[in-house]
Amino acid sequence: MYSDKVMDHFQNPRNVGEIEDASAVGEVGNPTCGDIIKLYLKINDSDETIEDISFKTFGCGAAVATSSMVTELVKGKKLDEALTVSRDTVAEALDGLPPAKMHCSNLATDALKNAIEKYKKTKE
């Protein structure tokens, strides 16, 4: 059902936890399945690079795996580049997700976009 990469990111998630002095925090949830993802960003203000990223996820294995993968995909990238990461990007990086679990990759990318939007609003 799940690829080896999904299982690896679920069993050994990367970048788990809070960033105390985060530049922005994005939080999204899905009331249907109950998954909640909180994503923390530490951003270099001078060049808008994601210096650090972490997450806390309450949800299924796919939600944990997609959260972990999103952190791996965008760490060290500029915000504009990070915004190009889509649910399909995440699913492909994990060697696929079952159709019923695609909403999990939506949550991870939505949390990322939410955090970036919040950061940009503080800089206006």
**Nearest alpha carbon to residue 101 among 31, 6, 37, 13:** 6
Report the alpha-carbon distance of residue 22 to residue 122 in Å, rounded: 13
Task: Judge contact between 9 and 71, C-beta under 8 A.
Answer: no
pLDDT digits (tens, 9 = 90+) for 8-62: 999 999 999 999 999 999 999 988 888 999 999 999 999 999 999 999 999 989 9
d(CA 93, CA 16): 18
Catalytic residues: 33, 104
What tokens does 14 get?
Answer: 């990367």
Enumerate domains of the chain plus CATH numbers.
4-117 (3.90.1010.10)
pLDDT tens column, 48-101? 999 999 999 999 899 999 999 999 999 999 999 999 999 999 999 999 998 888
In angstroms, the Cα distances linking 23 to 56, 59, 94, 113, 122 are 16, 24, 27, 14, 9
